[in-house]
Amino acid sequence: MKSRWMIAVVGAAMMVASVSASPRAGAQSPAAGTSAETKAKIVIDGSTTVGPLAKAFAEYYMSNNPGVNITVSESGSGNGAKSLVNGVCDVATLSRFMKPEEFKAAADKGLLPVAHVIAFDGIAIVVHPANPLSGLTLEQVRDIYLGKITNWKQLGGPDQDIIAISRDSNSGTYETFEQMVMDKQKIAPRIEYVGSNGAIRQRVQSTPAAIGYVGFGFLDRTVKALPVNDVHPDQQSVLSGRYPIARPLFMFTNGYPALGSHVQQFVTLYLSPKGQEIVESIGFVPLTKY
């Protein structure tokens, strides 16, 4: 588990080491009653996993800061990183850490991406509620996506061909799944790909023979989350390190935002009691405990 959480430590170290501020308007220090504040804008782009959390943070922040306009797009972790590098957004949301090549692209433009770990998340293996299986091993999940296991009867289930659903390759959730479940082995050609966590949930809830994987924030009663290696996917199993498919969730900025700026207050909202409440209400695992 040490290597899994190491990226969170790296992100924290980067925040301490960096002192530069984002050049976009949203990163400017607020001045009460000024026209600059009334025009303040924060642009967010990236992960569909982090999207619901970013939107909930944005709604709460704007309700307490009427002069601030926050827009949230969900184009995927890879596109979020590109948006930050290209100066299109103030905050990039990623469900994985930035890649070396993304850091290099930023450095080539004189930018310094800084990681803010805002929550922990587990990736749940989900099936239709009618599926009788009570759990899977990590190896069984891998074999399904490798195409070695193709029928539920091979796992003690009904005689139905398995319809396995995956996220698209631009997704941070896909890359986490590829690393932690697939051990970087190639997913079988027969696997279906969709563009969001919500799309996987929708496909699984309407397809009795389907299996997919989603972030904790997308679990509800319309799908059945299976224990993996006899560990149920929940907050405690993620915090304890027992659940085998878990990761931090990130917001990235160009440099550490100016202290007191709207961007700085927004990306540190997770540290407040209200931020923790929002994280938990969506189904993710908060870093803080009040």
All domains in the chain, ordered by first residue: 2-120+247-282 (3.40.190.10), 123-239 (3.40.190.10)
CB 165 within 8 A of CB 210: yes
Q: Provide the pLDDT for residue 170.
A: 83
Q: Provide the pLDDT for residue 189.
A: 93
Q: Is 211 helix (H, G, I), strand (E, B) or coil?
A: strand
Q: Provide the pLDDT for residue 290.
A: 78
Q: Copy the structure tokens of residue 205.
A: 């809830």
pTM of the model as a whole: 0.80
Q: Provide the pLDDT for residue 39.
A: 62
**Count of CB atoms situated within 10 Å of the CB of 221:** 7
Cα 43 to Cα 73, 208, 214, 223, 229: the distances in Å are 8, 39, 25, 32, 40
Looking at residue 153, what DSSP letter applies? Answer: G
* Helices 273-282 and 51-64, packing angle to 10 deg: 140
Q: Provide the pLDDT for residue 288.
A: 85
In angstroms, rounded to a whole number, what is the distance separating the alpha carbons of residues 31 and 72?
24
Residues of the chain where predicted confidence (pLDDT) is lower than 50: 1-37
Q: Alpha-carbon torsion 199, 205, 208, 209, what sign?
A: positive
Q: Is 127 helix (H, G, I), strand (E, B) or coil?
A: strand
Q: Provide the pLDDT for residue 289.
A: 83
